[in-house]
């Protein structure tokens, strides 16, 4: 059993301590915006904010997340109007879209820490996230775009 605040709502999650946070979010809290892509910290599809910092939720256990605050893509902005989300829409970034929740959470965390990142800082941060469809050019442009609007 773990107490986790997800998107400002407190959840009592009834699961084993070694369960990755990803599966607790998806299977127990029922929030499906956070995606499973690799399960081992290699793709970033599962990226959420843990106490405000971009974190691959497949690598954090329920035990480790106990008492912490999690923001998922559903909670990034109540109306879906975070600057990063808006930039993603203005640039029509996604193809299949599956990686994009993780990409957006990664970008939002980067800009929260570093509102005016250099190109190299954008590339370094976004390298944690694979996009198999190959939207990188637009992803990088959208992060820049959001950064100027933050």
Partner 1 sequence: MLHFLNQAPQPAEGFTIAKVSRRGFLKVSGAGLALAGFATTAEAFPRWPHGGHAMPHGVRTDPLVFVRVDPDGTVTLVAHRSEMGTGSRTSLPMIMADEMEADWTRVVIEQAPGDEPKYGNQDTDGSRSLRHHIQMARQIGASVRHMLAHAAAAEWGVPAGEVAVEAHMVRHGSHEAGFGDLAEAAMALPVPAFEDLAFKSPSDFRYIGKGKVQITDLRDITTGAAVYGADVMLDGMQVAVVARPPVVGGKVKSFDDTAARAVPGVSAVVELPHSIPPAGFAPLGGIAVVASNTWAAMKGRDALQIEWDGGPHAGYDTQAFLAEMVATAEQPADTVFRNQGDVDAAFAEAARTFGQTYTQAHMAHAPMEPPVALASVTAEGAEIWAPVQSPYACRTDVAKALEIDPAQVKVNVTLLGGGFGRKSKHDFAIEAALVSKAVGTPVRVQWTREDDIRHSFMHTVSAERIDVALDGEGKVTAWRHNSVAPSILSTFAPDGGHQFFIEQGMGHVDMPFDIPNVRCENGAALAHTRIGWYRSVSNVPRAWAVGSFVGELAHELGRDEKQMWLDLIGAPRVVDPVAEGYPEDFWDYGEPYQAFPIDTGRLANVLDMAADAIGWGREMPEGEGLGLCVHRSFVSYVACAAHVRVVDGTIRVPEMHFAIDAGFIANPERVESQLQGAAVMGMTLALHSGIHYEAGAVVESNFHDYEMVRADNYPENVHVHMVPHGFGVHSTGVGEPGVPPVAPAIANALFKATGQRKRALPMGAQV
Residue 58 site contact among ligand FES, partner 1, none (CB < 5 to 8 Å, cut-off depends on kind): ligand FES
Taking CB under 8 A as the criterion, the residue among 54, 83, 139, 146 binding partner 1 is: 139
* Sign of torsion over alpha carbons 79, 84, 87, 91: negative
The strand pair at 69-71 and 2-6 is best described as parallel
In the chain, DSSP finds a helix count (H) and a strand count (E) of 6, 5
Cα-based distances in Å from 60 to 78, 87, 93, 138: 25, 29, 28, 29
Question: Applying CB under 8 A, which of residues 52, 66, 115, 127 lies at the interface with partner 1?
Answer: 127
From 28, 32, 36, 136, residue interacting with ligand FES (rule: CB under 6 A): 36
Distance CA 53, CA 106 (A): 9
Check residue 84 for interaction with ligand FES (CB under 6 A).
Answer: no
Selection from ligand FES, partner 1, none that 150 binds (CB < 5 to 8 A by kind) is none
Rounded to an integer, what distance in angstroms lies between the CA atom of residue 58 and that of residue 41? Answer: 7
Closer to ligand FES by CB, 110 or 116: give it. Answer: 110
Residues near partner 1 (CB under 8 A):
15-16, 19-20, 23, 26-28, 30-40, 42-43, 45, 72-74, 76, 80, 85, 88-89, 92, 94-101, 104, 122-124, 126-127, 129-140
């Amino acid at each position: 059993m773990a107490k986790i605040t997800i998107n400002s709502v407190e959840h009592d999650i009834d699961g084993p301590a070694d369960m990755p946070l990803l599966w607790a979010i998806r299977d127990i809290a029922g929030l499906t915006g956070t995606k499973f892509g690799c399960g081992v910290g290699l793709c970033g599809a599962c990226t959420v904010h843990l106490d405000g910092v971009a974190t691959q939720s497949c690598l954090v256990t329920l035990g480790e997340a106990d008492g912490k605050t999690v923001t998922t893509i559903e909670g990034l902005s109540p109306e879906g109007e975070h600057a990063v989300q808006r930039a993603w829409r203005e640039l029509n970034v996604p193809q299949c879209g599956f990686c994009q929740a993780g990409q957006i959470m990664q970008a939002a965390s980067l800009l929260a820490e570093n509102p005016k990142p250099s190109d190299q800082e954008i590339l370094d941060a976004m390298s944690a996230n694979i996009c198999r469809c190959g939207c990188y050019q637009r992803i990088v442009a959208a992060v820049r775009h959001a950064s100027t609007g933050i």
